[in-house]
């Protein structure tokens, strides 16, 4: 099978892409198990604001995004659709049937509030290897959400993933300038290694309007996936404006 093109490859290759994660629009809906707010509306508004990609995480516990959401999004999203899911049979079957533009494999623990760290592909090597093959055979571009560690990046390459999304949560959680600087160094070194391995470079988790620019400024960063901060701001300024403001910061960082 010919190597799949990166989902964004047909667009401007030097401009950083913003994936807007709309899970928490569904979180509000699920608080009342009703029909509003609809993440499908959020996706449309995000597109109007300049989103290059809509990202959703279908969790095994269905705490926010539902199966209906991904089905409707698949039919209505006009940019790229990135499905985050755990490396388990149920999710892989759903992904292979849905055929989003990209699947990002993530770790999942039932008790967690949100994803806690990257998928340890070394500890889960055979499961991840099988999943990458299965998704690629279905024609889906595969990204692995991993910590910014050399051995994880090298294994991602060995397992034939096309991209890695570096976990930026530790950087985002840093409470001092010095700690943030150290974490940025780790991300930058890892990013160079990702490119040396010939993988596409994505990043995400915990990014906000205040911390995104240095990450967007990492050379050759191609895609950032950002959710909570955008959805939070959208309550006050609307989704379209919230996305446009984040997109402007991503571009500002990329031009540094």
Contact residues toward ligand PXP (CB under 6 A) are: 21, 23, 57, 84, 104, 106, 114-115, 145, 165, 204-207, 225-229
Q: From the candidates 84, 108, 222, 223, which is the catalytic residue?
A: 84
Residues sharing a CB contact under 8 Å with residue 215, sequence separation 6 or more, in sequence order: 168, 171, 184, 187, 203, 207, 221, 224, 253
Residue nearer to ligand PXP on the CB measure, 44 or 166:
166
d(CA 187, CA 170): 10
Residue nearer to ligand PXP on the CB measure, 136 or 204:
204
Residue nearer to ligand PXP on the CB measure, 2 or 165:
165
* Nearest approach, Cβ of residue 133 and ligand PXP (Å): 21
Q: From the candidates 165, 193, 205, 222, which is the catalytic residue?
A: 205
* Nearest approach, Cβ of residue 208 and ligand PXP (Å): 8
d(CA 132, CA 148): 19
Residue nearer to ligand PXP on the CB measure, 147 or 165:
165
Q: In this chain, which residue has its C-beta nearest to ligand PXP?
A: 227
d(CA 164, CA 149): 11
d(CA 117, CA 145): 8
Nearest to 25 by CA among 72, 59, 63: 63
* Nearest approach, Cβ of residue 207 and ligand PXP (Å): 5
Count Cα atoms within 13 angstroms, Cβ side, for 12: 7
Told to judge if 57 belongs to the known catalytic residues of this protein, a careful annotator would answer yes
Told to judge if 205 belongs to the known catalytic residues of this protein, a careful annotator would answer yes
Q: From the candidates 6, 57, 200, 202, which is the catalytic residue?
A: 57
Residues catalogued as catalytic: 57, 84, 205
């Amino acid at each position: 099978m010919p190597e799949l093109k990166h989902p964004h490859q047909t667009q401007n290759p030097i401009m950083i892409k913003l994936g807007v994660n709309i899970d928490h629009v569904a979180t509000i809906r699920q608080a009342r198990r009703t029909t509003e707010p609809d993440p499908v509306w959020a996706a449309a508004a995000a597109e109007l604001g300049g989103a290059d990609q809509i990202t959703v995480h279908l969790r095994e516990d269905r705490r926010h995004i539902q199966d209906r959401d991904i089905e409707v999004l698949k039919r209505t999203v006009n940019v790229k659709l990135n499905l985050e899911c755990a490396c388990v049979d149920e999710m892989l079957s759903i992904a292979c049937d849905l055929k989003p533009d990209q699947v990002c494999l993530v770790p999942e623990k039932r008790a967690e509030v949100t994803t806690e760290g990257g998928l340890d592909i070394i500890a889960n090597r055979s499961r991840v290897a099988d999943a990458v093959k299965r998704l690629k055979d279905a024609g889906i571009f595969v990204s692995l959400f991993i910590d910014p560690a050399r051995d994880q990046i090298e294994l991602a390459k060995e397992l034939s993933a096309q991209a890695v999304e570096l976990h930026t949560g530790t950087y985002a959680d840093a409470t001092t300038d010095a700690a943030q600087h150290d974490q940025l160094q780790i991300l930058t070194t890892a990013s160079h290694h990702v490119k040396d391995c010939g993988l596409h470079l994505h990043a995400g988790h915990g990014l906000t309007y205040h911390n995104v620019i240095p990450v967007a400024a990492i050379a050759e960063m191609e895609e950032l996936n950002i959710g909570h901060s955008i959805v939070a701001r959208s309550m006050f300024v609307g989704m379209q404006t919230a996305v446009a403001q984040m997109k402007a910061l991503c571009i500002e960082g990329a031009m540094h």
